[in-house]
């Protein structure tokens, strides 16, 4: 990544904190209104056997420990993709209504760089849909509502004295296969960069399944998003001259999609878990949901060069020295 210093706006640390609070408060309210969501509390811990843990790409090590009283093994969540669907049913949300929550997690195997941290903070959201809503058109409509909330938040910053980042509200939609066809012979990240620099706000659809080159655009767990109805929302981030992913989201698997994707991934053992059994029996509502990075959004809207400028996390010695050299102030 290139640090484009000429586009970097100096902000003192107290000023940053005030803007971070403003962004989070404003966006949270706009998101809830756009998608008709109610805020709920969410767990930090899940039991191993519940099946509620998000396995992400399937190779990450969970942070786990046993409880002193009964010896039960607990895991710190990696995301709430599965828990949210259970919560929709438990709380009795009506069709086209849903929930959102502040999710914090520890992903010990995440790399640490300008946009990644082992500490994850995001808005997790989920809403009930109908079978008719299981379509790319419905997915696109939802994406546009999220982008509208981001745009409104950026406009609010201007009224509070921060003039820095323009958000393009016109979303460019493209499937991962179409993107590969457009930029053959490139890596997924190279393709993301080219298309996002060109169109500024991009939603890449259908991530998880194998493409014509024999590889998926990116890895996805087989048991939460339907790989034909999901995607990533990216914005061009000028300060780092890169495509910055703000959200991964999708229409969740039904019983048919779950069986198909579990077979492709070779994880048939998961079908014994409670979460998977409930989907196969149609006991959980059909839903759409995703995660929206809180620190990533603040980083984008404030034009920051490092995610450590907008969240307090652990950083290795090399990162601290690099940021000090570049006069980037970590929280």
- Annotated active-site positions, please? 54, 107, 122, 232, 245, 248
Identify any residues that bridge with 127 across adjacent strands, giving them in sequence order. 98, 288
Produce one character per residue of 231-247: b if its CB has 16 or more CB atoms within 10 Å, e if not: bbbbbbbbbbebbbbbb
Q: What is the C-alpha end-to-end distance of the chain, expressed in Å?
A: 21
CA dihedral 162, 168, 169, 171 (to 10 degrees): -150
**Residues 6 or more apart from 251 whose CB is under 8 A from it?**
129, 133, 134, 138, 139, 225, 226, 229, 230, 286, 287, 288
């Amino acid at each position: 990544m290139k640090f484009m210093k000429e586009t970097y706006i100096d902000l003192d640390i107290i000023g940053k904190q005030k803007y971070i609070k403003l962004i989070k408060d404003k966006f949270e309210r706009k998101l809830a209104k756009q998608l008709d969501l109610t805020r709920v509390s969410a767990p930090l811990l899940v039991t191993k056997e519940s099946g509620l843990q998000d396995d992400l790409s399937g190779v990450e090590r969970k942070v786990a420990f046993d409880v002193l009283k009964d010896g039960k093994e607990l895991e710190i969540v990696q995301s709430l993709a599965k828990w949210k669907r259970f919560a929709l049913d438990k709380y009795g949300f009506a069709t086209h209504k849903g929930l959102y929550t502040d999710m914090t997690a520890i992903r010990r195997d995440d790399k640490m760089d300008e946009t990644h941290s082992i500490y994850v903070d995001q808005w997790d959201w989920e809403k009930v849909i109908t079978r008719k809503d299981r379509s790319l058109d419905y997915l696109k409509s939802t994406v546009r509502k999220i982008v509208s909330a981001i745009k409104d938040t950026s406009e609010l910053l201007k009224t509070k004295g921060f003039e820095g980042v323009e958000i393009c509200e016109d979303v460019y939609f493209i499937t991962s296969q179409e993107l590969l066809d457009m930029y053959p012979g490139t890596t997924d990240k190279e393709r993301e960069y080219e298309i996002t620099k060109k169109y500024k706000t991009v939603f890449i659809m259908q991530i998880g399944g194998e493409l014509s080159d024999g590889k998926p655009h990116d890895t996805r767990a087989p048991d939460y998003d339907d790989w034909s109805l999901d995607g990533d929302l990216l914005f061009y981030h000028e300060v780092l001259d890169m495509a910055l992913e703000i959200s991964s989201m999708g229409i969740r698997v039904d019983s048919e999609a779950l069986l198909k994707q579990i077979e492709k991934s070779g994880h048939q053992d998961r079908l014994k878990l409670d979460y998977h059994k409930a989907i196969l029996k149609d006991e959980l509502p059909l839903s759409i949901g995703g995660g929206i990075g809180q620190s990533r959004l603040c980083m984008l809207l404030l034009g920051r060069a490092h995610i450590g400028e907008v969240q307090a996390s652990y950083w290795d010695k090399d990162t601290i020295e690099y940021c000090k050299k570049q006069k980037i102030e970590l929280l």
